A and B are shown apart, each in its own frame.
Chain A
Amino acid sequence: MENKNKSIRAFFSGLVKQQVFIPLAALLILALFNLIMDPSFFKITLGQNSVGDPVLNGYLITILDYGSELAILAIGMTLVTAASGGQDISVGATIAIAGSVILRMLCGGQTTTDTYQTPLIVAFLVAVLASMVAGAFNGALVAYFRIQPMIATLILFTAGRSIAAWVNNNELPIVNVDSFGYFGGYIPGVPIPTPFFIAVICVVVIALVMKFTNLRLYTQAVGINESASRLNGLNPEFIKFISFVILGVCVAVVGLIKVSRLSTINYSVVAKDIEMDAILAVALGGNALGGGKFNIWASILGAYVIQFLTTTLYKLEVQSDALPAYKAVVVIVLVVLSAPIVREKLASISKKMKTKEVA
């Protein structure tokens, strides 16, 4: 009997030590909260959209839809966090640039278009290139000029939306092509939102990259101790630089989804505050914000949990402008709980409790 108890305890303490435990626990708490408040939160219905194609409706589908954008960003943000020990706060602004470039290419300088002026794939590749350049700019400042990541990315954070507006001469081009809406909506006949499939593709790609290259090992090495990794023959500057470029690619993908949802763009509103959610996803995934070891899967799960939280708040009819206040409280609770000093205190308290039990 006692043995069994022990093994269960060991199992649970092992689970608690797992990095995925934090986002999973948060997800469970949120799900339980919604179950008590209103079980209809979990209802999924099969309906039809305006064109008449079958689509799934429900809060869970919304989470799957919008959480996927965040998950794609979380991949890149985790790498940047691990390698440089800081975060990129310019992702929202860079999404605006990428989206603006896509629209510019598709419309070919006109304000509206009914056909693609450039093939979609070319437009997308140019956008990828543009946001890779933005990432390279951030990466160069961080890696070679040794500026703190958050300050270096502050430059694009300030200028990004202005650049996005400048790309299209401050016009708001509209693309009236049905197939352009597929990326942020539904492919006809498939009831699951497309962003989810895009996120799956991104996850598979990054999984393959991690399996067949040393990216993971090198990034962790640089994040944990830069000078030690240099002595081991790594090039820390290049690793940091490349992590920002990878984030640039992720940003371009999200930019495509964002402009596809609206078929146009609003420079000052598109992807607003998304950097906060992306950083939050990384933190919720239990990754150290100071760099070092990381777990991309936990971050991706964290991204969906963040979207779960956002959707829950929306359902409680919280104003969208007031959302940040609630999220900020969640962030503070999270970082306080994960702070080493607090953890030590908690550990010593639980140790005291245990010794008392024995006595």
Chain B
Amino acid sequence: MQYEISGASRLPIYRQLVEQVREGIARGDLKPQDQLPSVRQMSRDLVVNPNTVARAYTELEREGLVANRPGRGVFVAEPRADLTKDARRKRLIETIDRLLTEAVNLGFSEEEVARLVAARSRQFHWNTPNSAPK
């Protein structure tokens, strides 16, 4: 998996890294038990302050996406079983609400949004087979 950061981005560097790992996991480029580069390695590869990489990893660990095994490294975590279905549903609903707000601000109608979501979902490479839409 390739990581890259952009100075022109509106996101702070640590958030750019968090998003890339998150997307990598969602697309299946990163699989459970895969090891992420060490803070030192990532910091040298991307030429960023090691504290920034450490902050991204701390954030990912807090979200339960990676696990830090002291002395061995940072690994992609198994899919979350600790959150209840309700809690996961709640989190997804918050994200959907943000999407809808953005859609309204950008002047899209309800039908247009529904069509777009369906179209993107067909193109999306769903990671787990049992969640694939039929």
Q: Do A and B belong to a common assembly?
A: no
Residues of B within 8 A of A (CB): none
